[in-house]
Amino acid sequence: MRRFNKFGALAQLVEQWPFKPFVTGSNPVRPKLAIYFFTLTLFCIITSLSFAAGKQVTISSKNNIKLNGELSSSNQNTSAFLIVHGTRAHKGMEIIQTLSSRLFEEGHDILSINLSYGFSNRHDDFLACDINHNHNEHESVEEIITWYNYLIKKGYNQINFIGHSRGGLNVMQALSIIDNKKIKSYLLAPVIDTYKGTKAYYEEELGIPYDLIINSNENYNLADRYRRINFLFCENVIVSSKTFKSYLDFSKNKSTYPFSFNIFDLIDNSKSPITIFSGTEDEILLDSYKSYGEINKSNVRTVILEGGGHFFRDLYLEDVIDIIIE
């Protein structure tokens, strides 16, 4: 597998590979993928059926889109966890459901949410690849803030965030806007794309003029001018330039803070308590744990789980939960 200097869009292509297999020059299909996919799907179904403590909640975004969440509440707590899923994913995923049910069992109120990606009333299904991708990551972050405000109105005075994979980046983006130093954030295998790596992937691997796109205010389908591209773990899809820019601009443009800053920059700028979980056997982000292990900030704790994968299956997620509830 080809590795670019630092981290780039390669990580975005493979984050959810069990769910959308495809072949590219830099992302060969994993062996026994069909068996793995069947097993994971079965786990998701079983987990969804077994976790019935939550109440389905629907609110509206600033754009009048219906947002779906699941609130597990004992009606006794004044604190809650807000859990954000990874790219194109949903709150019914095994890792999200297990986090929700186990933390609720430990006495904590939990709100897990579905980001809408521009679709009103989006339920527990992966966002399809074969759509015209016109959604905007900035709106996803606004939705997280809308849910945060929902919990505030419900009377919670301490709200902590949990984000898995790209949800970790989205949590840090939301925290940069909320600017509440009391919020604790727990980032599970957060994505670590950078300007250099993302630019290299799209320009050298796909022949797409990365800088030209992120520096332009035009909005058009990239396929009309260049070609269909690999994007957010989908192969050969139709993506608008505005969507591309909202997810992949890491140019550190101060006028678009925090959306053009990578997760290392956001962590460096944050004053709130952050715990980062990384597995040494992360099949998606590979040896990213080494980069997170180099962070030296008093408000940041890095937990490296020897043998842990991207989804922290089996006892690894129990280790994560034990640390969250310390």
Pick from 82, 75, 76, 86: nearest CA to 103: 82
The CATH class that applies to domain 9-324 reads alpha beta
Measuring CA to CA, how many Å separate 285 from each of 3, 146, 177, 276?
A: 11, 29, 27, 14
| Whole-number pLDDT of residue 285 | 87
Task: Give pLDDT, residue 276.
Answer: 98
Q: Residue-wise over 247-264: b if at least 16 C-beta within 10 A, else e?
A: bbbbbeeeeeebbbbbbb
Question: Mind listing the pLDDT tens digit of every residue in the chain (326 residues)?
Answer: 333 334 554 444 444 333 332 222 222 223 333 333 443 444 444 444 334 468 999 999 999 999 999 999 998 899 999 999 999 999 999 999 999 999 999 999 999 999 999 999 999 999 999 999 999 999 999 999 999 999 999 999 999 999 999 999 999 999 999 989 999 999 999 999 999 999 999 999 899 999 999 999 999 999 999 999 999 989 999 999 999 999 999 999 999 999 999 999 999 999 999 999 999 999 888 888 999 999 999 999 999 999 999 999 889 999 999 999 98
Cα–Cα distance measured from residue 100 to residue 94, given in angstroms and rounded to the nearest whole number: 10
Query: For residue 220, what pLDDT is reported?
Result: 97
Q: Phi/psi at 31 (nearest 5 deg)?
A: -70, 150
* pTM for the model: 0.85
Q: pLDDT at position 98, please?
A: 95
**CA–CA distance from 318 to each of 98, 184, 228, 308, 313 (Å)?**
9, 19, 41, 11, 9
Radius of gyration over every alpha carbon of the chain, rounded to an integer in angstroms: 19
Question: Which residue, among 290, 291, 248, 299, has the nearest Cα to 269 in the 3D structure?
Answer: 299
**For the residues of 144-208, what is the DSSP string, one character each?**
HHHHHHHHHHTT-SEEEEEEETHHHHHHHHHHHHH--TT--EEEES-----HHHHHHIIIIIS--
Per-residue confidence (pLDDT) for residue 274, from 0 to 100: 98
How far is the C-alpha of 137 from the C-alpha of 143, rounded, in Å?
10
Cβ atoms 150, 249 nearer than 8 A: no
- 137 closest CA partner among 162, 110, 172: 172
What is the length of the chain? 326
In whole angstroms, give the CA distance from residue 291 to residue 240: 32
